[in-house]
């Protein structure tokens, strides 16, 4: 079946550097994408979202880029901090064709080195 996947299971960066977490999706019908952050022992926390009619969306220190041509999604974190250490999931929503839920990737662990 169609799925969302991630290129790198673990990303290690130095504090203060910028981080880029990548995600590939295979369902071209997906129209909404979300990045979640999950800290150890906690539930996923919403970071930022983007709809398929956009290429870029910025939040506070985070930017999501969407390339529909190659079905690629990325999360950029500026000036990465130790508190950013977590597992990051991308998720996609496909317009109702019987399923009304998000499809999650397997996650990327971000480790921030002080």
Residues that bind another protein (CB under 8 A): 4, 31-32, 34, 36, 41-46, 49, 51, 89, 91, 93, 95-96, 99-102, 104-107
Name which of 21 and 44 has its Cβ closer to another protein: 44
- Smallest distance, Å, CB 69 to another protein? 21
- Smallest distance, Å, CB 84 to another protein? 18
Name which of 15 and 46 has its Cβ closer to another protein: 46
Name which of 83 and 98 has its Cβ closer to another protein: 98
Which are the contacts of 38, defined by CB distance < 8 A and separation ≥ 6?
44, 45, 86, 87, 88, 89, 107
- Smallest distance, Å, CB 114 to another protein? 26
Q: What are phi and psi of 100, to 5 degrees?
A: -130, 65
Q: Locate 88 and state its tokens.
A: 């990051």
Please, are residues 74 and 21 in contact by the beta-carbon 8 Å criterion?
yes
Distance CA 71, CA 27 (A): 8
């Amino acid at each position: 079946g169609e799925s969302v996947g991630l290129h790198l299971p673990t990303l290690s960066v130095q504090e203060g550097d910028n981080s880029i977490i990548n995600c590939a999706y295979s369902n071209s019908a997906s129209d909404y994408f979300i990045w979640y952050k999950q800290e150890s022992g906690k539930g996923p926390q919403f970071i930022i979202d983007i709809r398929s009619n956009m290429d870029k969306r910025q939040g506070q220190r985070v930017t999501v880029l969407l390339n529909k041509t190659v079905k690629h999604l990325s999360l950029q974190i500026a000036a990465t901090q130790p508190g950013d250490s977590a597992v990051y999931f991308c998720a996609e929503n496909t317009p109702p064709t019987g399923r009304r839920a998000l499809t999650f990737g397997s996650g990327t662990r971000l480790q921030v080195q002080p």
